[in-house]
Structure 1
Amino acid sequence: MSNETVRDLLDRSNRLGADPRNTNYAGGNTSAVGAEVDPVTGESVDLLWVKGSGGDLGTLTEAGLAVLRMDRLRALPSVYPGVEREDEMVAAFDYCLHGRGGAAPSIDTAMHALVEAAHVDHLHPDSGIALATAADGEALTKECFGDRVVWVPWRRPGFQLGLDIAAIRRENPQAIGCILGGHGITAWGASSSECEAHSLEIIRTAEEFIRTHGRPEPFGALVDHFAPVAEDQRRRRAAELAPVIRGLASTDRPQIGHFDDSDAVLDFLARAEHPRLAALGTSCPDHFLRTKIRPLVLDTAADAPLDQVLDRLRELHAAYREDYAAYYRQHATPDSPPMRGADPAIVLVPGIGMFSFGRDAQTARVASEFYRNAINVMRGAEAISRYSPIDESEKFRIEYWALEEAKLARMPKPKPLATRIALVTGGGSGIGRAIALRLAAEGACVAVADRDGEAAARVAAEIGSADVAVPVTVDVTDPAAIRAAIDATALAFGGVDLVVNNAGLSISKSLLETTESDWDVQHSVMARGSFLVAREAARAMIAQDMGGDIVYIVSKNAVFAGPNNLAYGSAKADQAHQVRLLAAELGEYGIRVNGVNPDGVVRGSGIFAGGWGAQRAAVYGVPEQDLGAFYAQRTILKREVLPDHVANAVFALTAGELSHTTGLHVPVDGGVAAAFLR
């Protein structure tokens, strides 16, 4: 019985969660009641399976369910101390758990446990929240559904809300669900299929009601100076703004950014009513917990000069922080958690798009998705009535809820490079690939840059989704391509903090055999290319005002005079001195510049596989397959250098333990005495 119950619940949850019209990411919860044999008594026991705290309906698995005994849950009202102490009931859920493992019960567990129905869905559809946030939502709910769906006035999620909905269910046996004022919907059914059908009926009926009864332009007339900028200009302006906005949004703590210039966002920002509506803030708790109570909205024309836009952004950011601090002071009580930060999570730039921020790229992206949900909600509410979200005092109660604070405290400790944004040139193979993989494993978002776009895409896919890595095709000899790579990184993640100058090649020839072309191509890629990458990276880092790291992958050959190596060694010596020069120049901006000097990395190296290995093996008179071992035997430690060893050095230089180190070259060569730095 239970296996079938759980399977049906998961299937229903995944179907509902897969359609963004039904609920937002990680929003809502579903449940089912069934029977299972108690392994201790051997007797049948009624259990509740309900989506636990966190997780997402669209990807919910059995591990994401909390499993509780219904007999204990039904007994909870008898020990309920009242609405003023209802938070204490969350701890009581732990005493109702059945078996081992499972997810932690969420605050919404009471809703599912107390409503007299075998299956319950609580969802956050845009259409349902539009009715829930309309000024006359109760009357509109009656008009839309008759007595089939009942209005529930706003109440903060918790035990009392569960009791309220349970009472409404008993008093309205004809009802299939309810609209929760300011919040969302709840539906129920005797079977999983009936419950799902009732949820979809509420959502689709609300959608149709808004479509047929709503006015055509709920956001007002188009405003010319807020109209969307042409796409190529828009993306370029967004890339210019992204590091500055990220720096402002990271005043209290570093953030990752996300850019959204979808049609829905651009249309909202082009309309006359967007300043009024944005100032009202979001309403559904899932929305404002991720977007803050309201966004920062730029009020300059979309095509205003960049300096004017940046100056106004800084003014508005200062005002936003003052307003947020005042909001906290107004509503905080002696037992409120400390203010978590006064920076905006959402920044709206008319004509350009939306910038959203979070502790990682997924959180930033999801914040953007939630604000798009909020735009849909505002559109629906304004179409049929007037958008009227819950009071700020109620928002504060949820934003600074002790239970929310406890949930944040349970989050895992951030990895060393969390909130860092890295760009690795030559990242499609060899040393660059190893560096990209290591930085991502330590928490960084990574732009994998390579002249071979397919190789960059393979490495980015190996790392994971676009929330952690993106491929960028770039020839480091092309200034425009480098600028585009930095722009792409800024649009993907908000800016750039950590750049690794790794792209390179090598041609092994004697002086007399070295052509001008041999010389030029090696200097163009390594000496000139590193300069161009460093220049564009520094430009973005300075605008961002968050410091940064630039790491050059140089070579022991920068200081070691080996045979048949003039062009390569000279280019590497150029890179080595760039490290020193840039460390001295960029220190005032908090940008550290360091280098890594590897010995020959044979295994896994794109350079060695491309002919350099055969050339160097010929120089030293050893078989090419033995070149790595040959290099190892001439070192003090007798150890071969691998790509991962170079990646380890990059991590050590950038992970924070060497925060006061700049202008350093770290040898990763197994110990080559002739290459000791002096």
Structure 2
Amino acid sequence: MSTATPFPVWDDARAASLDAPNALLYRSNLLGSDLRITNYGGGNTSAKIWQTDPLTGEQVEVLWVKGSGGDVGSMKLDGFSTLYMDKLRALKGLYRGLAHEDEMVAYLPHCTFNLNSRAASIDTPLHSSLPYAHVDHMHPDAVIAMAAMANSQAITEQVFEGTVGWMPWLRPGYELGQQLAAYNEAHPGLRGIVLGGHGLFSWGDTAKSCYENTVSLIERAQQWLETERTARQVQVFGGAAVSTLADADRDATLARVLPVLRGLSAEGAPKLLHVNTSPEVLAFVNSNDLLPLAALGTSCPDHFLRTKIRPLIVPEAVYQLDGDALKAALNELVAGYRADYAAYYERCKRPTSPALRDPNPVVILLPRIGMVTIAKDKATARIAGEFYVNAINVMREANAVDEYVGLPEQEAFDIEYWLLEEAKLQRMPRPKPMVGKVAVVTGGAGGIGQAIARRILADGGCVVLADIDQEALDSVSAELARAHGRDHVRGVRCDVTDEASVIAAFGRAAIEFGGVDILVSNAGIASAAPIEETTLALWMRNQSILATGYFLVGREAFKQMKAQGTGGAIVMIASKNGMVASNQATAYCAAKAAEIQLSRSFALEGAPLGIRSNVVNPDAVIRGSKIWTGKWSEERAAANKIGENDLEAFYRDRSLLKRSVLPEDIAEATYFFAAEHLSAKSTGNILNVDAGNLAAFTR
């Protein structure tokens, strides 16, 4: 936790052009831009601003405070709640004491200024109760480390020399706001207050002075911890117990283990995984103190709300296993975690507690490898991992100077199963149908591959684009990541004719997302030649890409789907030519026919496992298709005795419907077979997307 890298500097020139709300936004974004200051979604900021009341025209004091569920680093102006300060102060007359504090949340909408629809967070009373114009509440690792020490109060007084107060742990809410105000009034001249096990409150008269005060306090805490740790020469986490695996061994192990873990944790809904092998994580998972520290759980509420109070640790002896033995051993571990979590729920539940939630682990630690986090989507899994890194930092710093203390179990439960938190979960919109699903699309950088990827991404899925063209792959992956978010898209170079390349591509998919639910086998070429001019090389090239390639990617997808044990969908993009031969295209037609029969074989063996396999047969997809940009266009024009510019019209006019077939049409058909909610009872089927070709009618 070195302070060698300076914190972001306040830009006076930029701030001078901002009005009060935008100065608050600038301060918030600046604070959230550095994870040493606060984690994603953690903490909040506020400013008390005088504005014109839209009803009376009079000047009124308005609290601008980060709204519920926002992130200070990425929020926009509409992320703030706005509330009348006079009404917030009047709430004190309605407060009936700690046992009734949750009812105060229902009064907050009545304090809304200017019909702002952004819901106020539970921390709003903490900001409104303090008399300062600008208030920050941050969760810096350095301060939380001190807040989670056994001697937290004494150390806080020592570090800040009496300029920062200290209060014991209390759940955020109206009562804490009242106690903050009382403590601040009883201790004039403070620069901030440390909340035991929680974080830091700090303030200022202006947006700039508040920011600089907050950063200065965090920097002071960091420097003190660093100095103390160096002076004590304490081994981090009691020293290393094991060494880290070589990268190749680590990746091979993860590719084998993660699909199994993903399947065991699914619990009725797909989940995605995120891997973290950072130095901070490895120092923890490889250490002598791993077991006792992990058992203590996290301290800060923001941490365990996203990570659960404790992780699951997978011993090396387990992940060295393979096949059925690996699955059985992991199943025992995950089942044991679920049982422990259920027992924790039973010990701590209250008469009004919500029902038991998903009891599966969120954080899984693998000595010598790193950390895996599991959640309903990739972003949530990644963010959970970031929060556990914060928890690791806190444990490291606290134990180096004093003794780390986790939050008491009942307090942790009361936060996790807080009725207000449950209400927030119930307000969340229903997820899109592909959330949690992973699709591998071969030929992903081509026109049809891109269209299929976009269709899956539009409904919340994640896509691994596999293509042999690295330049096109990089370009398309970047474009889709910009449109749909970096958590949803990965690109991997893959030569479908090379077994090692295919195995590596699916290994990468497992490491990036945890496995695969959907395979779209779409890599392709096209060729034409009279039979007597069809060379063995041309024949073998078609067979290698269109038959062997489809077999290899299908086999590796099948393996991962089987390991997950949650079914899956294989969609092979074949061709009208697989149903009816075209003149002077023997090698191509034979290979496409092989794909159709291959799909039927996958359907047959996959059915007992819930793995479906179907075929989409396009015809004459000219616009956006890479295979029509090369010699194939010239060859088909020559075979049909027309000009190349007339190809689209020729194929359109020969169809029964007289309509052009576009990449988006193939994407829709593919999506139908890929989507469990649309085609759960379809396997071994063929869907022609050719605008009607009588000769290709399935029979």
TM range (shorter): over 0.9
SS of residue in 2 equivalent to 1:47? strand
Match of 1:321 among 323, 328, 338: 338
After TM superposition, the structure 1 stretch with the greater mean CA deviation from structure 2, 253-262 or 643-652, is: 253-262
Letter aligned with residue 417 of structure 2: Y
Q: Which residue of 1 aligns with 2:357?
A: 340
Residues 318 and 330, structure 2, Cα contact 8 Å, conserved in 1: no
Letter aligned with residue 246 of structure 1: R
Rounded to whole Å, the distance in 1 between the matches of 2:327 and 2:228 is 42
In the TM superposition, residue 302 of structure 1 has moved relative to its aligned partner by 8.8
Q: Which residue of 2 aligns with 1:488?
A: 508
Q: Which residue of 2 aligns with 1:92?
A: 107
Rounded to whole Å, the distance in 1 between the matches of 2:181 and 2:553 is 62
Rounded to whole Å, the distance in 2 between the matches of 1:232 and 1:2 is 52
Q: Which residue of 2 aligns with 1:657?
A: 678
Rounded to whole Å, the distance in 1 between the matches of 2:116 and 2:446 is 42
After TM superposition, the structure 1 stretch with the greater mean CA deviation from structure 2, 85-94 or 302-311, is: 302-311
**Would you say 1:579 and 2:599 are equivalent positions?**
yes
In the TM superposition, residue 202 of structure 1 has moved relative to its aligned partner by 2.0
TM-score by length of 1: 0.97
Match of 2:190 among 168, 175, 185: 175
Match of 1:669 among 679, 683, 690: 690
Residues 541 and 547, structure 1, Cα contact 8 Å, conserved in 2: yes
Q: Which residue of 1 aligns with 2:3?
A: none
Rounded to whole Å, the distance in 1 between the matches of 2:536 and 2:326 is 47
Rounded to whole Å, the distance in 2 between the matches of 1:399 and 1:516 is 66
SS of residue in 2 equivalent to 1:258? strand
Q: Deviation digits for residues 436-472 of structure 1, max 9, x if unmatched?
A: 1111111110011110122122222222233010111
In the TM superposition, residue 382 of structure 1 has moved relative to its aligned partner by 0.5
Q: Which residue of 2 aligns with 1:431?
A: 448
Match of 2:93 among 75, 78, 97: 78
Aligned length: 676
In the TM superposition, residue 504 of structure 1 has moved relative to its aligned partner by 0.4
Match of 1:647 among 653, 663, 667: 667
Q: Deviation digits for residues 48-89 of structure 1, max 9, x if unmatched?
A: 111111121111210111111111111111111211111111
Match of 1:561 among 569, 581, 589: 581
Residues 553 and 597, structure 1, Cα contact 8 Å, conserved in 2: yes
Q: Which residue of 1 aligns with 2:120?
A: 105
After TM superposition, the structure 1 stretch with the greater mean CA deviation from structure 2, 442-451 or 459-468, is: 459-468
In the TM superposition, residue 305 of structure 1 has moved relative to its aligned partner by 4.3
Q: Which residue of 2 aligns with 1:612?
A: 632
Match of 2:288 among 253, 272, 277: 272
Residues 257 and 319, structure 2, Cα contact 8 Å, conserved in 1: no
SS of residue in 2 equivalent to 1:58? coil
In the TM superposition, residue 252 of structure 1 has moved relative to its aligned partner by 4.5
Unaligned runs of 5+ residues in structure 2 are 1-15
Residues 580 and 663, structure 1, Cα contact 8 Å, conserved in 2: yes
Rounded to whole Å, the distance in 1 between the matches of 2:501 and 2:291 is 37
In the TM superposition, residue 398 of structure 1 has moved relative to its aligned partner by 1.0
In the TM superposition, residue 38 of structure 1 has moved relative to its aligned partner by 1.4
Q: Which residue of 2 aligns with 1:445?
A: 462
Q: Deviation digits for residues 12-55 of structure 1, max 9, x if unmatched?
A: 11111111100000100000011111122111111111111112
SS of residue in 1 equivalent to 2:267? coil
Q: Which residue of 2 aligns with 1:530?
A: 550
In the TM superposition, residue 559 of structure 1 has moved relative to its aligned partner by 0.9
In the TM superposition, residue 98 of structure 1 has moved relative to its aligned partner by 0.7
Q: Deviation digits for residues 609-632 of structure 1, max 9, x if unmatched?
A: 122122112211222222122112
SS of residue in 2 equivalent to 1:120? strand
Q: Which residue of 2 aligns with 1:220?
A: 238
In the TM superposition, residue 146 of structure 1 has moved relative to its aligned partner by 2.3
In the TM superposition, residue 608 of structure 1 has moved relative to its aligned partner by 0.9
Q: Which residue of 2 aligns with 1:393?
A: 410
Rounded to whole Å, the distance in 1 between the matches of 2:327 and 2:284 is 22
Q: Which residue of 1 aligns with 2:5?
A: none
Rounded to whole Å, the distance in 1 between the matches of 2:630 and 2:118 is 51
Match of 1:626 among 646, 653, 656: 646
In the TM superposition, residue 334 of structure 1 has moved relative to its aligned partner by 2.8
Letter aligned with residue 690 of structure 2: D
In the TM superposition, residue 561 of structure 1 has moved relative to its aligned partner by 1.8
**Would you say 1:239 and 2:255 are equivalent positions?**
yes
**Would you say 1:30 and 2:45 are equivalent positions?**
yes
**Would you say 1:456 and 2:456 are equivalent positions?**
no
Rounded to whole Å, the distance in 2 between the matches of 1:72 and 1:258 is 44
Letter aligned with residue 306 of structure 2: R
Q: Which residue of 1 aligns with 2:139?
A: 124
Letter aligned with residue 276 of structure 2: D
In the TM superposition, residue 547 of structure 1 has moved relative to its aligned partner by 1.0
Residues 52 and 106, structure 1, Cα contact 8 Å, conserved in 2: yes
Residues 229 and 303, structure 1, Cα contact 8 Å, conserved in 2: no
Q: Superposed, which structure 2 residues align to 1:199-214 within 5 Å?
A: 199-214=214-229
Letter aligned with residue 365 of structure 1: R
Letter aligned with residue 221 of structure 1: G
Residues 253 and 319, structure 2, Cα contact 8 Å, conserved in 1: no
Q: 1:301 to 1:351 in 2, by over 3 A?
A: farther
**Would you say 1:404 and 2:421 are equivalent positions?**
yes
Match of 1:545 among 565, 576, 597: 565
**Would you say 1:285 and 2:305 are equivalent positions?**
no
SS of residue in 1 equivalent to 2:235? coil
Rounded to whole Å, the distance in 2 between the matches of 1:547 and 1:608 is 35
Q: Deviation digits for residues 364-415 of structure 1, max 9, x if unmatched?
A: 1001101110000100111111111111111111111111111112222111
SS of residue in 1 equivalent to 2:630? helix
Rounded to whole Å, the distance in 2 between the matches of 1:309 and 1:151 is 49
SS of residue in 1 equivalent to 2:316? coil
% identical equivalent positions: 46
Residues 252 and 341, structure 1, Cα contact 8 Å, conserved in 2: no
Rounded to whole Å, the distance in 2 between the matches of 1:143 and 1:102 is 44
Rounded to whole Å, the distance in 2 between the matches of 1:589 and 1:174 is 68
In the TM superposition, residue 343 of structure 1 has moved relative to its aligned partner by 0.4
Letter aligned with residue 380 of structure 1: E
In the TM superposition, residue 3 of structure 1 has moved relative to its aligned partner by 6.1
Rounded to whole Å, the distance in 2 between the matches of 1:454 and 1:544 is 32
Rounded to whole Å, the distance in 2 between the matches of 1:124 and 1:254 is 31
Residues 166 and 194, structure 2, Cα contact 8 Å, conserved in 1: yes
Q: Deviation digits for residues 303-346 of structure 1, max 9, x if unmatched?
A: 84446655432221111010011111111223211111110001
Residues 298 and 312, structure 1, Cα contact 8 Å, conserved in 2: no
Rounded to whole Å, the distance in 2 between the matches of 1:67 and 1:449 is 47
Residues 17 and 58, structure 1, Cα contact 8 Å, conserved in 2: yes
Q: 1:584 to 1:262 in 2, by over 3 A?
A: same
Q: Which residue of 1 aligns with 2:8?
A: none
SS of residue in 1 equivalent to 2:227? helix
Residues 67 and 102, structure 1, Cα contact 8 Å, conserved in 2: no
SS of residue in 1 equivalent to 2:274? strand
Q: Which residue of 2 aligns with 1:520?
A: 540
SS of residue in 2 equivalent to 1:512? helix
Letter aligned with residue 280 of structure 1: L
After TM superposition, the structure 1 stretch with the greater mean CA deviation from structure 2, 510-519 or 496-505, is: 510-519
Letter aligned with residue 615 of structure 1: E
Match of 2:393 among 369, 373, 376: 376
In the TM superposition, residue 634 of structure 1 has moved relative to its aligned partner by 1.5
Residues 155 and 161, structure 1, Cα contact 8 Å, conserved in 2: yes
After TM superposition, the structure 1 stretch with the greater mean CA deviation from structure 2, 288-297 or 165-174, is: 165-174
In the TM superposition, residue 557 of structure 1 has moved relative to its aligned partner by 0.7
SS of residue in 2 equivalent to 1:57? coil
Rounded to whole Å, the distance in 1 between the matches of 2:465 and 2:279 is 28
Rounded to whole Å, the distance in 1 between the matches of 2:337 and 2:169 is 28
Q: Deviation digits for residues 266-303 of structure 1, max 9, x if unmatched?
A: 11111100111111111111111111111100123598
After TM superposition, the structure 1 stretch with the greater mean CA deviation from structure 2, 387-396 or 199-208, is: 199-208
Residues 132 and 203, structure 2, Cα contact 8 Å, conserved in 1: yes
Q: 1:311 to 1:263 in 2, by over 3 A?
A: farther
Letter aligned with residue 410 of structure 2: S
Unaligned runs of 5+ residues in structure 1 are none
